[in-house]
Every structure is written in structure tokens, then in C-alpha cells.
Structure 1
């Protein structure tokens, strides 16, 4: 299995090959917002009842997986644009979270 750093590099290479690396930080952030909206819409459509629940209609899970993938791809692309090592960022933040007292 690939590390997050390897995946981030793969996404950066893909973005470069396709010319997406010229997008500004603001454009990438707007795209991330759009992808999060699509994920939200997919989850909303997949619920089996109108009551807030975590019971997802199994036939629609593929759509949710696709949208989560899109969100991660754009987020990692944004991290690259900002010269952020996402794997290090997550590990560092989790160390802080483990010490934090949640109220």
C-alpha cells in the first residue's frame, strides 16, 4: 500500500501532466469546496429515511466513495500547492490531538 506522501506525489505528477498545477491556491480551494458540496449531496441522497441517520443506502455507497476520493485528491493537490507535506501535517496534528483534553 502507498504512503500518503507517495499518493500526494502521484497526484502532483498527475496535476502537472494535465496542466492543473498552474491553478491558483484560491482556484484549488474553490474546487475543494465544490467537491465537499458534491460529497454532501451524495450523502444526503443516500440516506434511506429523512431522519438524520448514519444508515447509508448500500447501493449508493459507490457514489460516496467517489466523492470522498475526489475530496482527498483536491485536498492533497492543494497541500502540494502550499508546499505542505500532508502526511507530516496529519501526524503532527494527531500528536497534538492525543495530548488535548476534549470537553
Structure 2
């Protein structure tokens, strides 16, 4: 599984490189703050909603600590997506939140 550190992802987002961040946390967690560019698809919804994603794009999966996003990363990799897991999750994120 490909991984990325939070600081690396922050640099990519600051440069404006093409990557889509998917936050797989629950609604209440996201309400407390998320990466501004992130789209929200709770982990439990990934198997039903992954068709909304574009296989030609790069995705970075994010959760609180990196475990749930790792599960989402594995699932999407098996479905043929280019996907990376952010290690440490939002607990390690020092970039902007909204």
C-alpha cells in the first residue's frame, strides 16, 4: 500500500498538484474540521459510492489515525484506483482545516 506523510500531502496541496483527498471519517468527526480540499465519503459508504470516483485521478485517503483510511485504500486499490493512504491521519495533520 502506498502511503504519504501529512506534511508531504500538505506541500502537494499547497502547490496545487492534482490530487483528490477523500476523508473517510464519520460525520461528527468531519464537522470538527477537515482538510479544506477533501471530499467526505464515510468508510462504510465506500463500497456503495466508489463508482462516484474517477479511476484516472490520484486519491489520498484520510481518517483520524490512518487505520480506516488504510482499509479504504486497500478496497479502492483492489477496484483499480490510484490511491494512497495518509499515515497518522488527522491526528498528525498540521495543515489548514475548515
TM range (shorter): under 0.3
Point out the structure with the larger strand share: 2
Point out the structure with the larger helix share: 1
The TM-score with structure 2 as length reference comes to 0.26
The TM-score with structure 1 as length reference comes to 0.25
Which has the greater radius of gyration? 1
